[in-house]
């Protein structure tokens, strides 16, 4: 993807390897409380180390993902990171997404073809059946379908990440053109 899309990709890593973490804290991901701790150490903490180095974070959350993401805002404030969170794909339906992927030959993670609707850590992600919600494969062993790791604050509690509604005229001014849709 670096070559195909000309991206500058930086991989953020947790302080401890999984082996070191397990030695120190035990197997955390097997309980709901441990999952929060594990996701904090392995996902949120590495991102927090970038605080002050970025002005905004662009994500891929979509309302079509369902669950709490059905209400996901296009713009929100990440208080912990002190940045704007921008989700430009928020109103893309599954059909629009699939059309875009096929018309633009977008490179896909091969796990999608194996039934993984969403992709997370290998210990906590399974494929889903056709009739299951997309996030049914995440933390399946913990018994709930709508769980989130916490790296996107709007997944946890919308009040922690206030949405920003921008008037159409302001969006036009920011983009320097006429807006053809509003979310």
Catalytic residue list: 149
Report residue 23 as tokens: 């030695």
Footprint of ligand SF4 on 14-43 (CB under 6 A): 29, 35, 38-39, 42-43
Report residue 81 as tokens: 């990171």
Exposure of 182 by Cβ count < 10 A (0-12 exposed, 13-18 middle, 19+ buried)?
exposed
- According to the binding rule CB under 6 A, does residue 123 interact with ligand SF4? yes
Pair 149, 39: CB distance under 8 Å: yes
Report H helices in the chain: 2-5, 18-25, 32-39, 45-48, 94-103, 153-156, 168-175
The residue of the chain with the least Cβ separation from ligand SF4 equals 121
- According to the binding rule CB under 6 A, does residue 75 interact with ligand SF4? no
How many chain residues interact with ligand SF4 (CB under 6 A)? 11
- According to the binding rule CB under 6 A, does residue 76 interact with ligand SF4? no
Exposure of 93 by Cβ count < 10 A (0-12 exposed, 13-18 middle, 19+ buried)?
exposed
Q: Least separation, in Å, of the C-beta of 101 and ligand SF4?
A: 25
One residue of 72, 117, 149, 151 binding ligand SF4 per CB under 6 A: 149
d(CA 78, CA 155): 12
User: Which CB atom, from 120 or from 158, has the smaller least distance to ligand SF4?
Assistant: 120
One residue of 47, 86, 121, 183 binding ligand SF4 per CB under 6 A: 121
Contacts with ligand SF4 by CB under 6 A lie at 29, 35, 38-39, 42-43, 120-121, 123-124, 149
């Amino acid at each position: 993807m670096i070559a195909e899309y000309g991206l500058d990709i930086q991989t953020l890593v947790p302080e401890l390897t999984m082996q070191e973490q397990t030695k120190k804290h035990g197997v955390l991901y097997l309980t709901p409380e441990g999952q929060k701790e594990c996701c904090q150490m392995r996902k949120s903490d590495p991102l927090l180390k970038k605080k002050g180095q970025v002005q905004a974070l662009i994500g891929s959350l979509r309302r079509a993902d369902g669950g709490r993401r059905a209400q996901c805002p296009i713009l929100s404030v990440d208080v912990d990171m002190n940045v704007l969170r921008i989700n430009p794909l928020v109103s893309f339906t599954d059909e629009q997404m699939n059309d875009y992927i096929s018309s633009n030959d977008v490179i896909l993670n091969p796990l999608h073809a194996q039934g993984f609707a969403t992709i997370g850590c290998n210990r906590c992600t399974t494929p889903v059946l056709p009739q299951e919600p997309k996030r049914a494969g995440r933390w399946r062993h913990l018994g709930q379908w709508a769980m989130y790791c916490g790296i996107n604050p709007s997944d946890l509690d919308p009040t922690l990440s206030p949405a920003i509604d921008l008037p159409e005229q302001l969006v036009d001014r920011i983009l320097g053109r006429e807006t053809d849709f509003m979310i």
